[in-house]
Amino acid sequence: MRSRVEAPEELVATVADRTEPALVLLTGTRGTGKSRWCERLAGVGRAAGLDVAGLVSPAVVESGVKTAIDLLDLGSGARRRLADRPPPGLPGTAGLGWRFHPETLAWGNEVLGRTGPCDLLVLDELGPLELRDESGFAASFPALAARRYRLAVVVVRPELLGEAHRRWPRIAEVLELHAREADEEGGG
C-alpha cells in the first residue's frame, strides 16, 4: 500500500478521474519537505482549475534554523503563526518541542469547520495532538468523514501511520516522501 511519492502534478492529474472520494496519506520523517510538497500540490491544483481547501503548516526559517511554524489557509491565503519554540527551560505543548498558539488552533478548526465541497483537501499535518489526544485540529475528523472532496491528502508522520490506519480504514494510498525526492521537489 506504500509507494514512493508522486510528483504533485501526477497526483493532481488523477483528481478529475476520481468517481469516489479518496484519502491519501503523505508521510516522511522530519525535514523531508512534506509541507513544501503540500504547498506545491495546492499550487499545481489551483493552476489545473481545482477547488483547493485545507491547511498547510509551513516552517519559518531564520538564518537556516526552523524557529516557528505558520498556518496557511489554502482557501483564502490567510496565514497566522501556529507555533514557536518555547524559551529554554519551558516545555512545549504536550512535550512536542513547540508551543502551539491556542487562538491559531481555534482559527484552523474554524477554517476546517466551514470547508465545503472541494476537489482537493490538504491537511498538513495531523500529529499526536489529533491522532492520540483528539485535540489540535480536531475539526479535521468531521471534514474528512464528510467526504466532500475528490481527493484528500493528509500528512501523517511514519510513527503515527498505525493510528491513521485504524481511524481511516479506507486509505487509498500511502505516499512516502524521502529526503532525496524532497530535494528534487524543492523541499528540504
Superfamily the domain 2-57+71-76+117-185 falls into: P-loop containing nucleotide triphosphate hydrolases (3.40.50.300)
DSSP 109: H
Q: Per residue in 161-175, pLDDT tens?
A: 999 999 998 888 899
Which residues in 21-45 are b (16+ Cβ under 10 Å) and which e? Answer: bbbbbbbbeeebbbbbbbbbbbebb
Note the pLDDT of residue 4.
67
Per-domain residue ranges of the chain: 2-57+71-76+117-185
**Per-residue confidence of the chain (188 residues) as pLDDT tens digits?**
556 667 899 999 989 888 899 999 999 998 899 999 999 999 999 999 999 999 999 999 999 988 999 999 999 999 999 999 877 666 555 556 788 999 999 999 999 999 999 999 999 999 998 999 889 999 999 999 999 999 999 999 999 999 999 999 888 889 999 865 444 443 43
Best CA proximity match to 167, nearest among 152, 188, 178: 152
pLDDT digits (tens, 9 = 90+) for 26-41: 999 988 999 999 999 9
